[in-house]
Structure 1
Amino acid sequence: MLQKTHSLAGIVAAECVIMYYHQPLLSWESGAALLIGCMAGPLADVDKRGSTMAKIFLPLSFILQLLRVKHRTLTHSLLFLVGLTMLLSPLSPFFYWTCLLAYASHPLIDMLNDKGIALLWPWNIKFRLVPSFLAIKTGSHAEDLFRLFLLIIVIVLPIVFLLPEGF
């Protein structure tokens, strides 16, 4: 999937955390959560040379390249998610879950791709959520439709959140 798709998925995750914690949408915390979601969603692609995340986090990308970490392996794995949970543990629960769920959205939607991910890295077994004939190819019209679906969710979630309870 492309970075813009992962960013939207990260924003959806952040909006879910905002709603769960009943955080006012027009607050610094919510604004920070949405920005975190937008950045954490595509962050797993720091392992892909030339990606925007690799350029932004150049030192980390360089280390991954030196270690010869292949794309959709370590940074897309459960092992990495476990490490991330420990790294993020000092954060407040609100920002902890925002970071973690936005980041986790990345490998989750990459499992909709025909190439799958090495979820159990270092074992190089690729996991997909759908059979290859239903998979979404990166940059395809199917990804455009999926991204449109995510955009609709990004718009609808805050509207639903703002509706009065008896409505």
Structure 2
Amino acid sequence: MLQKTHTLAGVVAAECVIIHFNQPLISWEAGTALLIGCIVGPLADIDKKGSTMARILLPLSWVLQLLRVKHRTLTHSLLFLVLLGYLLAPLPEFFYWTILAAYASHPLIDLLNDQGVALLWPINKKFRLLPKPIGIDTGSFQEIVFRIILAVVAIILPFISLGSF
């Protein structure tokens, strides 16, 4: 999936956390959470040379390249998500869950890709939610449709739970 798709997924994940914590949508906390979703949603692609995240966080991307970390392995794995959870433990609960949910949205939607994700890395088995022939190829028409659906969800979700905001 492309960065803009992961960004929208991160925003939807952040909105879900905002709703769960009954945080007013018009607040510094909610605004920060939405910004976190925008930034953290595509972050797992730091392992892909040339991606926006790899260019922004070049030193970390170089380290991953030196360690020969392949795309959709370590940074897309459940192990990494657990390690991230431990590192984020000192944060306030609202921001802890916002970052974790936004980050988890990345491998979750990559499971729809025809290439799959090594969720159990270092075991190299790739998992996917759709059969390979109907998986969503990066940059394809199907991804554009999926991104539009995510955008609609991101717009409608706050209105659906308006009583919570």
TM bucket (normalised to shorter chain) is over 0.9
3-state SS in 2 of match to 1:4:
helix
For 1:85 and 1:20, locate their aligned partners in 2 and report how far apart those are by CA, in whole Å. 18
Distance (whole Å) between structure 2 residues aligned to residue 41 and residue 19 of structure 1? 18
Aligned residue in 1 for 2:109: 109
**Local SS of the residue matching 1:139:** coil
Residue 8 of structure 1 pairs with residue 3 of structure 2: no
**CA 1:82–1:163 in structure 2 vs 1: closer, same or farther (change >3 Å)?**
closer
Return the TM-score normalized by structure 2. Answer: 0.97
CA distance in 1, matches of 2:65, 2:153: 35
Pairing 1:1-167 to 2, within 5 Å after superposition? 1-163=1-163
Opposite residue 24 of structure 1, the aligned amino acid is P
Measured in 1, the distance between the counterparts of 2:92 and 2:161 equals 22
2:55 maps to amino acid:
K
The CA distance in 1 between the partners of 2:161 and 2:32, in whole Å, is 18
RMSD after superposition: 1.3
Percent of aligned positions that are identical: 68
Displacement after TM superposition at 1:163 (Å): 4.8
- Unpaired stretches in structure 2, ≥5 consecutive residues: none
- Give the secondary structure class of the aligned counterpart of 1:31: helix
Between the aligned partners of 1:162 and 1:114, the Cα distance in structure 2 is 36
Shift of 1:161: 2.3
1:52-103 CA deviation, whole Å, 9 max, x = no partner? Answer: 1011111111110110101000000011011000011011110000000100
Amino acid at match of 2:20: Y
The number of equivalent residue pairs is: 165
Q: Provide TM-score, normalisation by structure 1.
A: 0.96
| Matches of 2:13 and 2:145, distance apart in 1 | 19
Q: CA deviation at 1:40?
A: 0.7
* TM-fit CA distance, 1:160: 1.5
Runs of 4+ with deviation above 4 angstroms? none
